[in-house]
Structure 1
Amino acid sequence: MCRWAAYRGDPLYLEELVSSPAHSLIEQSHCATRAKTATNGDGFGIAWYGDRPEPGRYRDILPAWSDCNLKSLARQIRSPLFLAHVRAATGGGTRRDNCHPFVFENWSFQHNGQISNFDRLRRPMEAMLDDRLFHARSGTTDSELLFLLAMQFGMAVNPIAAMAEAIGFVEGLSLHLTGSVLVRFTSAFSDGRSLYAIRYATDRKAPTLYASPVGSGNCLVSEPLNDDVDAWREIPDGSAVMIDDTGVHVSPFQPEERAADEARTPAAISA
């Protein structure tokens, strides 16, 4: 399982989440405490927003703890909204274009979790993408494909609903093709204005997610960045989060059943 952190608020140096805290993201890359896998050494990435609509991004296949460039960039880059990720690969090779965050136009996305039987679901999932989104896919992970599927289903208009439809589609497709369903999904994504997150799993064993104020903003993390347990609020399984100018908003999350039903029909798969 991967580890990630995300922030929205007044501009903050990336190092405040990535490298400075006692249990920073770099520390979690080799010593995670709330994951099945303590080591997350299959690459890392950061995506940050500045003066332009699209995010900047830096990714590499080195373990986060061994890349001196990451610490240098995190010390110098100051951003009001950024995502950072350290990877423990569960599918897809260890290569740069499989490292999170993934970006498309002004959107960024990172994920911790898995889609069971992805090798059997990949082609019909890809078939749902229009040409523009299909050709935007550069890696081989289930995470990137699920992100593009949500873009196909209208993430630019309604991010949470689009992700609910994408997950519902995958669940219906899995049930139709394999007779079973297992999706574990804890993600953060942004359009450069608001920060969104979802914690959900079909078996109620979703990867962890916590929220806390940091400076003059709010952050979301896979596990707390320090030992101040009272500062960290665990986001319940089956939740959607939105962080905007008014604060942190948590609401129930469920996949879109209509998408799951349609996914069982050959017409939907070939549309």
Structure 2
Amino acid sequence: MAYSGDPILAEDLLFKPEHSLIDQSLHSHLGATTTNGDGFGVGWYGLGETPAVFKGIDPAWNDENLREVASQVSTHLLFAHIRASTGSAVQRSNSHPFRHENWLWMHNGCIEGFERMKRDLVFAIEPDLYPYIEGSTDSEVLFFLALTFGLREDPLGAVGRAVGLVEHLARQYGIDAPVQMSAATTDGVTVWAFRYSSEGKTRSLFYSTEISRLRSLHPEVEALQRFGMTARLVVSEPIRDLPGAWNEMPEGSAAIVREGRDDIVPFVPLGAT
């Protein structure tokens, strides 16, 4: 889940909705697995440019510290992730979101054949960035590839080149459909979200309808009053069953969310040069 808008308590996003991310950690409706208990992470922006990150290896539904923190943290931009490992170890450094300087990154999905391609992919990462890799996941490698290919200057192009490199190497290794990716990244001002897979059957991703329209559709829903007029959510699956609230992102697309303007554009892997 990614939230952007007026400052709001983290618990209003993580715990209070009827199908909140915490509920999804036990009862996911659309995910690859019903239970996502291999750790969690929350990243948010406060007083400084660098975001804070709070991660754990316990299931999100069973972490009292997360509930304590969420009841006090107010933020204008929050990333939250629940993890179901695709093979890498359950350890704090493998929990999302990943952070580098003022950037956050989180990813649902996997790189098929990652173990076979890992050496080539890691060697493609800028040497100055390599020491900052903390974990062992394909998701973190994808993040540092995007940083290598210019995430700071051109997020859409950088992620496109990172995915393009993975698909290029996969062809050399005879791996079909290597990329399964719903992902999000932010610099603390703008959020970029991606929905793409090599086979064209990507895991779900939704964005929220404008709050002004939702309030007019559902004046009886008190919870909508807690959100400012600029609030936007990007979620793997809806956190509340509210008609008209959610819009599915198209296959092969990217969303750009910033104050006063939102766009959805095509996402196409690029040659990693």
User: Structures share a fold, TM > 0.5?
Assistant: yes
Q: Does 1:149 find its partner at 2:163?
A: no
Q: Does 1:174 find its partner at 2:174?
A: no
Q: Does 1:190 find its partner at 2:186?
A: yes
Does the CA-based 8 Å contact 2:44-2:78 persist in structure 1?
Answer: yes
Q: Does 1:79 find its partner at 2:75?
A: yes
Which residue pairs with 2:17 in the alignment?
A: 21
| Greater Cα shift, 127-136 or 97-106 | 127-136
Q: Does 1:69 find its partner at 2:65?
A: yes
Alignment partner for residue 259 of structure 2, among 238, 245, 263?
Answer: 245
Which residue pairs with 2:235 in the alignment?
A: 221
| Greater Cα shift, 157-166 or 172-181 | 172-181
Which residue pairs with 2:104 in the alignment?
A: 108
Which residue pairs with 1:265 in the alignment?
A: none
Q: Does 1:89 find its partner at 2:85?
A: yes
1:90-144, Cα deviation, whole Å (9 max, x unpaired): 1210011000000001000000001110001111111011222111111000000
Which residue pairs with 1:207 in the alignment?
A: 203
Shift of 1:179: 4.6
Structure 2 distance, partners of 1:116, 1:7, is: 29
Structure 2 distance, partners of 1:224, 1:244, is: 21
Structure 2 distance, partners of 1:175, 1:29, is: 34
Shift of 1:53: 0.9
Structure 1 distance, partners of 2:135, 2:116, is: 17
Structure 1 distance, partners of 2:134, 2:236, is: 26
Which residue pairs with 2:135 in the alignment?
A: 139
Which residue pairs with 2:55 in the alignment?
A: 59
TM-score by length of 1: 0.92
Structure 2 distance, partners of 1:78, 1:115, is: 34
Shift of 1:249: 1.0
Aligned residues: 255
Letter in 2 for 1:28: Q
Alignment partner for residue 119 of structure 1, among 107, 115, 119?
Answer: 115
Structure 2 distance, partners of 1:68, 1:180, is: 42
Q: Secondary structure at the match of 2:146?
A: helix
Structure 2 distance, partners of 1:179, 1:34, is: 26
**Runs of at least 4 residues off by over 3 Å:** none
Structure 2 distance, partners of 1:178, 1:102, is: 29
TM-score by length of 2: 0.91
1:44-98, Cα deviation, whole Å (9 max, x unpaired): 0000001111100000000000001111111110101110000000121001100
Unaligned runs of 5+ in 1: 263-271
Which residue pairs with 2:217 in the alignment?
A: none
| Greater Cα shift, 176-185 or 229-238 | 176-185
Structure 2 distance, partners of 1:93, 1:101, is: 16
Structure 1 distance, partners of 2:171, 2:146, is: 19
Q: Please give the root-mean-square deviation of Cα atoms over the aligned residues, in Å.
A: 1.1
Structure 2 distance, partners of 1:179, 1:81, is: 37
Shift of 1:41: 0.1
Letter in 1 for 2:136: T
Q: Secondary structure at the match of 2:240?
A: coil
| Greater Cα shift, 10-19 or 51-60 | 10-19
Q: Does 1:32 find its partner at 2:22?
A: no
Structure 2 distance, partners of 1:89, 1:31, is: 16
